[in-house]
Chains A and B, each alone.
Chain A
């Protein structure tokens, strides 16, 4: 089954404790992206990747890192999480290398930073 998976689905952590949210897709998509969803703000793009080893900042990259060492994986790293990073996070991938097509979203990761 074609899908985007994220882990963990729920995470409660403390300020400053490094964490990684994994994202994997099995559709051989070149384009992958991370978003955060906050009430009243919709989804905002954090980082995106056009291919292996090629990433770029989105709208709200501060406090986040990403890597794309393999085509299927695009982990999101929070080196020192802060409470303002409490949010719902989505990973997505697309058939089009520039994302100009339907984006397939993962199930979301609810992160709480205390």
Chain B
């Protein structure tokens, strides 16, 4: 079975600085998708970024980018120019044909 591990339960960063959230996963599949979701205090789940495993190029969405290392099974999220509104729980997720697995989450606090 696939597993997703987020080794940093909590992190903090100063406003305007850069922070990287770690995620590793375990799978025997070659085709899959990886996601980062943000959950602010409102509890709404919001997609931050998505990466298809067959694509070598790292995905980027504005201030958010990933470092996808397929051989190492690593999928970290980098947030540049952190903003107070980035304060949230962040979940890494793995998906392969119907089966979706989430990590335990990293609680990120952006400090003014």
Contact = CB atoms under 8 A, between A and B. Distances in A.
Interface string A24-60: 0000000101010000111111001010000010110
A88 B43 contact: yes
A103 interface: yes
Range class of the B interface residue count: 20 to 34
Contact of A102 (B4, B47, B101): B47
Interface string B33-73: 10100000001110100100000000000000000000000
A47 to B, nearest CB: 10
Contacts of B4: 42
Range class of the A interface residue count: 20 to 34
B47 to A, nearest CB: 5
Interface of A: 31, 33, 35, 40-45, 48, 50, 56, 58-59, 88, 90, 92, 98-103, 105, 107-108
Interface in B1-17: 1, 4, 6, 9
22 contacts: A35-B102, A41-B104, A42-B4, A42-B91, A42-B102, A43-B102, A45-B100, A48-B100, A50-B98, A59-B1, A88-B43, A98-B97, A98-B98, A99-B95, A100-B95, A101-B33, A101-B50, A102-B47, A103-B47, A107-B43, A107-B44, A108-B43
